Structures are given as C-alpha cells and as structure tokens.
Structure 1
Amino acid sequence: MLRSEIIDDPTDLEALEPHWWELWSRSPSATPFQSPAWLLPWWRTFAPGELATVAVWRGDDLVGLAPLYLECQAAGARLLPLGISLSDYLDVLCIPETAEPVAVAIADTVLSLGWSQWILQDLPPGGAGLAIRHAALESCQAVDHAACPVLALAGDQTLQGCVPARRRRQLRRAHRAASRRGRVSIEPALSDPQTFLDHLIRLHRARWAGHGDGVLSYTRVEEFHRQALPQLVAQVLARCWLMTIGDAIVGAYYGFHHRGRAYAYLGGFDPAYAEESPGALLIGQAIRQAICESAEEFDFLRGQEAYKYSWGAVDRWTMRKIWTRSKGR
C-alpha cells in the first residue's frame, strides 16, 4: 500500500535526505543531478518558487520522489523540477518494482496542486518521468530537448580504442608544448574542495572573460557549488583535477562518476596558456581515469560545442514532456 505526501516545507525536505539517498541508489535512471547532494544545495541557494515535492512511501520506505516546485506567473503557475538550469539531467526517482504505481501516485498527488502546466525537461532516455500517465492529465508527446554528446569508452590509457587518432596527436603536441614551458602535472584535487573551487572559479572566469563571463560569474551559482561539491566528494561522486605548468595552476576540471559513466561538467583555463591546450589535456586525463575506473561512457553533457565531437562523441538527446489538466479536471 502506497501513500504520498506533498513536501512544501524546506525543513521537511532536508529531513528526507537519508531516505532520499537510499531511493537514489536504487533508481535505475538516477544520475548525480538527482542526488540530495546536488538538489538540496540547489533549493537552499535558489528557492525560485513554492516548494511542492511529492514523496511516495511504502511503509517506512521512500519508493518514489518527484522534486518539484511551483513557479507562479501571470498566465498561471508552472510545476517545474528542482535543479532546473544548472542540471543536465532531471527526472523523478522510483525503484523498478514499484515504478507503475509510483507514477500513478505522483500524478494523483500533483493534481491537488494549483498549476496550469507541469513541465519535466532534460529527461534521460528511459527516464521514469517519461512513463507518467493519468486520465486527468493531457500530455504532449515527449520531444527532443537537448543534445548530450557521449563518448563510448574502450581500450586503455593510450585512448586508442575510443578517441580519434587526430585528437590523440593533438594531445601529444599539446603536452610537448606545455613541457617546453615547465614541468607539467595533472593531479586530483579532492582533499580541499573549497580551494579547488577557488581555482576553478578563477580559471573559468578568465576563460570566459569578454565572452559572456561564464556560469561561475554569478554569486549564487558559486554559493551553490560551494555547498554541493563537499557533499559530492563525500559520496565519491566528484572528479576534480588541476593542471600545473611550472609553478602556475593553469587549468581545472570538474566532473562526476557514477554507475559506469563519467560526466564532464565544468572547466576553466588560463588564456595565457591557450596554446598549450590545458582544457584538452585535462579532458584527456579525465577520460583515462574513467577508463581506469571501468566506465563505459564519457558524457560531455548538454551542448553541441564542436570540441566534443573531436573526441569522437555522438549525440544522445534528453527529452521534454509537458502535462496540462484534462478539460473539466
């Protein structure tokens, strides 16, 4: 027997964390972006509307979770997922054996809220949110939303089995160029998340200066990452690297690893070292580490920037689905 509730108090959302982790670990479509390490700091930092998260219980076990909030507009309220904008994948969480009744329970519960549109975007292929149906809901057909280029991993530390030969030659040339300027090292930077973020923010802002300034130029985005990264590190989900040439830290890489997939989330480099391609060298190191950790895929996440395809990545699309209320409901 399932029971559902609407969580509209942030304190109650925080209290859900241990149950949330257990559900997240058992949900097939879960990524780091649906974890409490990511979404709780997101809500604390942004809280852009009225919290309206749906939790579904079987006894004392959390078996379904739809982290949602209401965004009020003149044209009517929209029901949106927590994590929107900064998250590359969004979804509801459920365990396989209760997926169908949980989907019904979530739909039943959200119908008690006052909204005109319910939007789930950035749904991964096979995402649990795609299966939500209800007689009182009119849904548009799921449509492609964003391309996430993905590289299938194979081979060894030479990258020969997965990365095109041209890109591997470019990496060798970049490393030789960097070596001419001083000793080159790329080291993990997980022992002190805040110091890593200091370097990442500095380098990201330098990289994007005059070109839109980059996402880390916003104070609240920085605040969010300063809360989220230590928790991601504690859960062994984060992968952070710093590149040094001589005595200068010239590049930073921020990514994740979960269930056989590596995710490349953010990076930055010192434009004074652009000829040495620190960004590419860091990605090369991240791919090698992912292979070492038996990852099957390296996900470059949203965006069709040309450099992603130079690594051999191919597009995988997230989906977007919108529900409205059936007439008379």
Structure 2
Amino acid sequence: MRRDLITTNEAIPALREDWEALWRRAGARPFQAHAWLLPWWSVFGTPHPRVATLRDAHGTLRALLPLYRLEENGTAKLLPMGVGITDYTDALLDPEAPPDAITQLLATALANESAPCDLPDLPPDAALLAADPPPGWRAETWGGEPCPVLTLPDSIEALRGPVPSNTLRKLRMSRHRADRAGGWSATTAKPDEVPSLWEKLVALHGSRWTRKGEEGGVLADPAVLAFHRAALPELQAAGTLRLHALRIGGEIAAIFHTLAGPGRLHLYIGGFDEARAFESPGTLLLGHLIECAVAEGLREIHFLRGAEPYKYGWGAQDRVNTGRRLTRA
C-alpha cells in the first residue's frame, strides 16, 4: 500500500474521480461523498488541507481521510472537512482495504504535526471511532449530540409498530384537512426544478425562524447558503439529492431537503408555510416520505442531529454521535 498526503489545494481536484469511485464502493453516507465535501471545501477551505490517501499496488484508492489544518488566534488544530454543517463525519474505507487502513491514514495525516486533531460527530459505526491512534498519539472521546433514527418495517401496514398510533392518527387528520382545503400532492423535484425549489425552501425556513426570533435560521449565514447552492448540482449528479415538495390546493406548503444513502434517507433541512399550520404540512410531507421509504425498501430514516420532540413523535430512537481528540502522547 502507498500512503500519500495532499497538502495543497491545487492537488485536490485531481482526487475527484477516484474519490467518487471509492465512495460508491464503500456504500458510504452522502456526507462522505465528494459531492458534499468538495463544495464545502470550496467555500470554507483554508490554505492547509491535509488529505491522507491509501492506494494499492495498482494505484486504486482504497482509503481516504480528508482533514485540514485550522489556524486562528495563535493556535492550530486539525479538523475533518465538512465540520460544522455535516451531521456524520468519518473516513472513507474500501471493503478491500487492509485492517489497519484507518490507522495508516491517521499516521499519514498527523505526520510531523504537533497540533491536536479533533474528530467530532462520529456516528456509532464510524471507522475513525474504533481505529487505534498512530504511534506517539493518544485518544480521548467526548459525548456528542443525539441523532434520532427511525427503523423502518417491511411494509406500510407495519408502520403501526415503530410509529406511535397518535402520530398516525394526526397524519390521517392532516390528510383529511388538506383534502378539504383543495387537495394535496407530494412530488420529488426534477433536475430543472431543483434551483427554484431550493430558494423556496430557504424562504420558508428563514421566515419561520425569523418569527421565532432567530433571524433566517441555520441558512442565515451567506457562506452556508453558498455551500448549499454549490453542492446541489453535485449531489444531484451523484444521485443522492432529493428535494420533496408538498402542495395543498396547488400551492407549496412544505419542502424537505433529503439525502439518500444505501438503505437510508437523511432528512437534512425543511421549511413549511405557517399559514397552512391547520393542515400540518410538515406532518403530511414527513408521513409521505416515510411511506415512500418503506415502499422503496429503505431500512432507516435519519433525523440527524438534535433532540427535537417531533422526531420522537415519529418513533425515532437516539443514536449518539461521539467526538474524538488525538493529541501527542
């Protein structure tokens, strides 16, 4: 195996094709895809990438760890690309990579480094969570945020098991109200509909959170918006982006930005028209997405970071992320 460390921004685009191929072979989450992390780096990147790669004798990329060095206020630390707005972080690991591949990646990324390496938001199955630190380094962990997950049954009829009966009753009532308000429909955006539907989502999300006293919500930061606008076509081309719209009486009442992964649907961000609160458009659209996920054969709905009560109302159970810090021993 050949280990390499990329430390210039000019060298990163050359990784794109191999990165995508590795991501697909690994069956990894969309948050580890080039389609998510390269747009993030284009907006939030620094002059100091530290991207560790592991290739076999034929030059095939078998493992990837995209880190970077952040220097501010006289201190430095290493962080994973995507940090902050990425709910699950991890390395990319080919099924045919050697057992110590992650430790090799860490050793490569941390070579000649004295700064600590913080790895937040590692899901329970993260390779970086279980890997031994490289020689000369020690690891400590901290508790992260809960990420509620709904485990899906094999059929829509069986939703009565994992989803509480009062939520299903509320869903039926919402559908009846929407029917009386002119009817409802839920669709997934076609490629040419994505830009306009995204801007509508931004408006709905921002309006609601501004009324709650948080100006613009999580999309208020221009850099965050720039990232999403750059990532949308990349995620779409990778086949993981799904923008879903609910219409009541022909007018958009709710939108969800979701990311599909092997066996999973990740609910990243949504917005709904508060003028339609009587029909509960968020409940309507979520119910539709869950039923579609079951019909598609998906196994899990990931509500991602945060312990908002509505997630548990659908029967989701906590899976807690973990943070890990590596420091010189």
Could you say whether these structures have the same fold, taking a TM-score greater than 0.5 normalized by the shorter chain as the test?
Answer: yes
What corresponds to 1:207 in structure 2? 208
Describe the superposition over 1:281-321 as per-residue Cα deviations: whole angstroms up to 9, x where unpaired: 11111111111110111111110000000000010111111
Shift of 1:99: 4.2
What corresponds to 1:175 in structure 2? 175
Shift of 1:64: 1.3
1:1-329 correspondence runs (5 A):
2-27=1-26, 30-48=28-46, 50-59=48-57, 60-74=59-73, 76-130=75-129, 131-140=131-140, 142-158=141-157, 159-191=159-191, 192-211=193-212, 212=214, 213-326=216-329
Shift of 1:115: 4.0
Q: Distance in 2 between matches of 1:111 and 1:155?
A: 45
SS state at 1:244 partner = strand
Tell whether the 8 Å contact from 1:117 to 1:323 is kept in structure 2 after alignment.
yes
Tell whether the 8 Å contact from 2:8 to 2:47 is kept in structure 1 after alignment.
no
Tell whether the 8 Å contact from 1:181 to 1:246 is kept in structure 2 after alignment.
yes
Q: Distance in 2 between matches of 1:164 and 1:251?
A: 23
Structure 1 unaligned spans of 5+: none
Shift of 1:101: 3.3
TM-score, length basis structure 1: 0.93
Q: Distance in 1 between matches of 2:156 and 2:168?
A: 11
Q: Distance in 2 between matches of 1:89 and 1:295?
A: 19
TM-score, length basis structure 2: 0.93
Structure 2 unaligned spans of 5+: none
Kindly report the root-mean-square deviation, in angstroms, between the aligned alpha carbons of the 2 structures: 1.7
Between stretches 82-91 and 96-105, larger displacement belongs to 96-105
Shift of 1:124: 1.6
Q: Distance in 2 between matches of 1:285 and 1:136?
A: 51
Describe the superposition over 1:7-47 as per-residue Cα deviations: whole angstroms up to 9, x where unpaired: 1222321110111112112336x210000000000000111
**Distance of aligned partners of 1:282 and 1:136 in 2 relative to their CA distance in 1, 3 Å threshold:** same
Task: Provide the identity percentage.
Answer: 37
Q: Distance in 2 between matches of 1:297 and 1:49?
A: 38
SS state at 2:135 partner = coil
Tell whether the 8 Å contact from 2:54 to 2:101 is kept in structure 1 after alignment.
yes
Tell whether the 8 Å contact from 2:154 to 2:297 is kept in structure 1 after alignment.
no
Q: Tell me the amino acid that sits aligned with residue 70 of structure 1.
A: R
Q: Distance in 1 between matches of 2:73 and 2:138?
A: 21
Shift of 1:75: 5.3
| Equivalent pairs, count | 323
Between stretches 287-296 and 201-210, larger displacement belongs to 201-210
